[in-house]
């Protein structure tokens, strides 16, 4: 959520700041602004609304500046107004601050600062930081920030200008992502790599409780004891084109079609030609054999991956699995034991609730394995072991290829643990890995059904309510299909375990309702046929998504049937979800929705 950019160097800063903010639009925002040096003073231009509104304000300016910071804000404290937009200035104009995150104790700090004579012009928690820095400033801003961080509770990524140090940016972070990019023509700060990728591939990760001084000639990073922290720069290994639409109307559509390649990139390095598995993690066979219970913790779509994982790991490895919403994990006083394994899943590696759940598990002495997409992210760094999904940049807010690559790693984990524990034979393991390796080609076959899915979407895009039903892993995928539809099309949709229909849900089914029935589990096809007939008897129209193995049992009872290629039952989520993603996409496009930037949503949820 929210986006920060900053630049200092040889070039005109304003175009660089604006381009960076545009690259961060996917994170979600409702206002935007910049702070720049203008003849020794800090000038702030900010506004409610989209970046086009900010650009209109900037078009009349004749300022040429080589240093500045920018921000896109997603409202948390205070409505989206011009006054609440970032950057925020200290009363004397000495400091300008942009901030991602939430300051939890801002009320008490605001009361203290008001008593010291500071006047607040906004309803935000961020303005507290600007005044607090000024309060503690005694000629050394790094020293002042070290004091400030001991006074504030919450999460933050900060970009700061000091009018006494034109050409310098100060950055700091805690539990909210921030990087520092470096190039021959200048240096940068940003919330995410796409903001700087047009200018450099080299960057540093600013760690928790670290403070960075960004100057045209270089970058210094300090710890909380004001000691220099030696760091080597990382290098982005994907291209600028990866973060562009490349002819697709929306990033989401492009990323849906990138899924076969993303699966290959994620799976291939971890399997051998003879279908062996090497996860390249430091977990001994003895540990896997002695696992008592697995806890999967995630939020949103990643939690739906966890639901699939529960079915598959329990089926293959015969280990009890609990799948928790990370936002609830700490608050139910979970029972964790020494031989448990926690698996945390996050695309960004910065999801606040998931990070908090990870830290709770670590505090209890439980081993943590993470599945993340962003190299060097906080969750990756704090886990005992990490599996990266090589999905590349995902720009659309609604996740697609990150979900699919997370699924593929869950499959490999399940097969690896099952084989290690002797629950499946070596030949069974090779057969299952072979099935996983075939998924990209089968996924291409699903993506080739574009015309069919466009037609189906055209039939239903004007509905107000849509229901998803399924059993087993199909229910887990139904949750994700429903989420995709509601988050980008704004149609009310709900997913139910099909067996629960008669326990109340069927009261919602009426003439003309659309029920999407997922029927990919061969052993459950007959039971799903009964559920389809139940809703048909009450006037519903039924779109069934089935495999070639299950379609014969249910297609005659359905109004529409979309056929998927056959594969091992437990791996069908990889195919089903692609069809549901395309269905949701084409419905949202037909309704004229902003598919890549759905209202009120942010890509990376870095606050609780």
Cβ(313)–Cβ(413) under 8 Å?
A: yes
Question: Based on the structure, what is the number of domains in the chain?
Answer: 3
193 in a structural domain: yes
Res 188: pLDDT: 96
The pair phi, psi for residue 373, each rounded to 5°, is -100, -25
Question: Considering 405, 423, 447, which residue would you say is the last residue of a domain?
Answer: 447
Joined tokens for residue 86: 């970032």
Res 351: pLDDT: 87
Give, in order, the Cα–Cα distances in Å from 570 to each of 308, 399, 421, 513, 573: 8, 21, 19, 29, 7
Exposed/middle/buried for 444, CB within 10 Å: 0-12, 13-18, 19+?
Answer: middle
Q: Domain check: are 300 and 373 in the same one? A: yes
Q: Is the peptide bond before 245 cis (omega within 30 degrees of 0)?
A: no
Query: How far apart are alpha carbons 215 and 487 in whole angstroms?
Result: 41
Res 346: pLDDT: 94
CB proximity list for 374: less than 8 A, separation 6 or greater: 177, 347, 348, 349, 350, 380
Question: Considering 416, 447, 478, which residue would you say is the last residue of a domain?
Answer: 447
Cβ(165)–Cβ(94) under 8 Å?
A: no
Res 477: pLDDT: 97
Q: For the chain, which residues score pLDDT lower than 70?
A: 1, 238-243, 600-608
Q: Domain check: are 437 and 460 in the same one? A: no
**Which helix or strand (DSSP H or E) is residue 450 part of?**
helix 450-460
Q: Domain check: are 442 and 465 in the same one? A: no
What distance lies between CA 16 and its chain's CA centroid? 25
Cβ(561)–Cβ(546) under 8 Å?
A: yes
Q: Domain check: are 439 and 457 in the same one? A: no
Q: Domain check: are 208 and 268 in the same one? A: no
Res 70: pLDDT: 94
Query: How far apart are alpha carbons 144 and 137 in whole angstroms?
Result: 5
Place of tokens 């996983």: 436
Cβ(205)–Cβ(378) under 8 Å?
A: no
Q: Domain check: are 363 and 464 in the same one? A: no
**Which helix or strand (DSSP H or E) is residue 431 part of?**
helix 426-447
Q: Domain check: are 344 and 459 in the same one? A: no
Helix axes 126-136, 106-115, angle to 10 degrees: 50
Give, in order, the Cα–Cα distances in Å from 385 to each of 4, 43, 358: 29, 46, 12
Which residues are catalytic, by number?
2, 603
Q: Domain check: are 379 and 330 in the same one? A: yes
Joined tokens for residue 306: 């966890």
Question: Considering 212, 236, 260, which residue would you say is the last residue of a domain?
Answer: 236
Q: Domain check: are 440 and 552 in the same one? A: no
244 in a structural domain: no
Q: Domain check: are 423 and 392 in the same one? A: yes
Q: Domain check: are 200 and 276 in the same one? A: no
243 in a structural domain: no
Res 600: pLDDT: 67
Exposed/middle/buried for 566, CB within 10 Å: 0-12, 13-18, 19+?
Answer: middle
Whether the model clears a pTM of 0.85, i.e. scores above it, the answer is no
**Which helix or strand (DSSP H or E) is residue 457 part of?**
helix 450-460
Query: How far apart are alpha carbons 80 and 28 in whole angstroms?
Result: 13
Query: pLDDT tens digit string along 236-253?
Result: 876 656 667 778 888 999
Query: How far apart are alpha carbons 491 and 326 in whole angstroms?
Result: 26
Cβ(496)–Cβ(478) under 8 Å?
A: yes
393 in a structural domain: yes
Any idea what the CATH number is for the domain that residue 454 is in? 3.40.50.10490
CB proximity list for 62: less than 8 A, separation 6 or greater: none
Res 607: pLDDT: 52
Q: Domain check: are 347 and 421 in the same one? A: yes
603 in a structural domain: no
Domain extent at residue 89: 3-236
Helix axes 401-420, 259-267, angle to 10 degrees: 30
245 in a structural domain: no
Any idea what the CATH number is for the domain that residue 23 is in? 3.60.20.10
Cβ(602)–Cβ(28) under 8 Å?
A: yes
CB proximity list for 604: less than 8 A, separation 6 or greater: 1, 27, 177, 191, 192, 347, 348, 350, 351
186 in a structural domain: yes
Count CA atoms closer than 13 A to 563's CA, side-chain side: 10
607 in a structural domain: no
């Amino acid at each position: 959520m929210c986006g920060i950019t900053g630049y200092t160097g040889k070039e005109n800063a304003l175009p660089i700041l604006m381009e960076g903010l545009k690259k961060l639009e996917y994170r979600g925002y409702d206002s935007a602004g910049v702070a720049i040096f203008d003849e020794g003073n800090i000038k702030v231009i900010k506004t409610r609304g989209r970046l086009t509104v900010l650009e209109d304000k900037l078009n009349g300016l004749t300022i040429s500046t080589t240093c500045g910071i920018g921000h896109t804000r997603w409202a948390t404290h205070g409505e989206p107004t011009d006054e609440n937009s970032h950057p925020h200035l200290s009363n004397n104009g000495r400091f300008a601050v942009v901030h991602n995150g939430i300051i939890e104790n801002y009320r008490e700090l605001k009361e203290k600062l008001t008593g010291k004579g500071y006047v607040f012009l906004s309803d935000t928690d961020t303005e507290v930081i600007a005044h607090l820095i000024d309060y503690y400033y005694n000629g050394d801003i790094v020293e002042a920030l070290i004091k400030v961080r001991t006074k504030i509770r919450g999460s933050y990524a900060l970009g700061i200008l000091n009018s006494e140090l034109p050409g310098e940016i100060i950055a700091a972070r805690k539990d909210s992502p921030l990087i520092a990019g470096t190039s021959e023509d200048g240096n940068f700060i940003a919330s995410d790599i796409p903001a700087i990728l047009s200018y450099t591939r080299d960057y540093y990760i600013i760690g928790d409780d670290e403070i960075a001084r960004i100057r045209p000639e270089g970058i210094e990073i300090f710890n909380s004891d004001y000691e220099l922290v030696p760091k080597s720069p990382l290098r982005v290994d994907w291209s600028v084109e990866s973060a562009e639409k490349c002819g697709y109307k929306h990033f989401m559509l492009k990323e849906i079609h990138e899924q076969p390649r993303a699966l290959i990139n994620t799976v291939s390095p971890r399997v051998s030609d003879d279908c062996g598995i090497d996860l390249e993690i430091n977990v001994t066979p003895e540990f896997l054999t002695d696992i008592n219970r697995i806890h999967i913790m995630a939020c949103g779509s990643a939690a739906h991956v966890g639901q699939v994982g529960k079915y598959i790991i329990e089926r293959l490895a015969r280990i009890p699995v609990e799948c928790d919403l990370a936002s609830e994990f700490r608050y139910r006083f979970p029972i964790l034991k020494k031989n448990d394994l926690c698996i945390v899943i996050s695309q960004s590696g910065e999801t606040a609730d998931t990070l908090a759940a990870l830290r709770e598990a670590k505090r209890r002495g439980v081993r943590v394995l993470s599945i993340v997409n962003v190299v060097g992210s906080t969750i990756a760094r704090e886990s005992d072991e990490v599996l990266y999904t090589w999905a590349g940049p995902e720009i659309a807010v609604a996740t697609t290829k990150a979900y699919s690559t997370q699924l593929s790693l869950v499959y490999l984990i399940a097969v690896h643990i099952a084989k290690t524990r002797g629950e499946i034979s070596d030949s069974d393991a090779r057969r299952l890995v072979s099935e996983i390796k075939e998924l990209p080609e089968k996924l291409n076959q699903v993506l080739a059904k574009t015309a069919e899915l466009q037609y189906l979407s055209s039939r239903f895009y004007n509905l107000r309510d849509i229901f998803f039903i399924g059993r087993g892993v199909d229910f887990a995928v139904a949750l994700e299909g429903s989420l995709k539809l509601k988050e980008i099309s704004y149609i009310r949709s709900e997913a139910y375990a099909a067996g629960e229909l008669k326990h109340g849900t069927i009261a919602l089914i009426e003439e003309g309702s659309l029920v999407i029935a997922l029927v990919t589990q061969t052993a459950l096809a007959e039971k799903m046929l009964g559920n389809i007939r139940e809703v048909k008897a009450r006037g519903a129209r039924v779109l069934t998504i089935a495999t070639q193995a299950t379609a014969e049992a249910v297609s005659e009872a359905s109004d529409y049937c979309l056929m998927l290629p056959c594969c091992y039952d437990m791996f069908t989520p990889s195919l089903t979800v692609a069809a549901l993603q395309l269905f949701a996409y084409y419905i949202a496009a037909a309704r004229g929705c902003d598919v890549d930037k759905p209202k009120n949503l942010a890509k990376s949820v870095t606050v609780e």
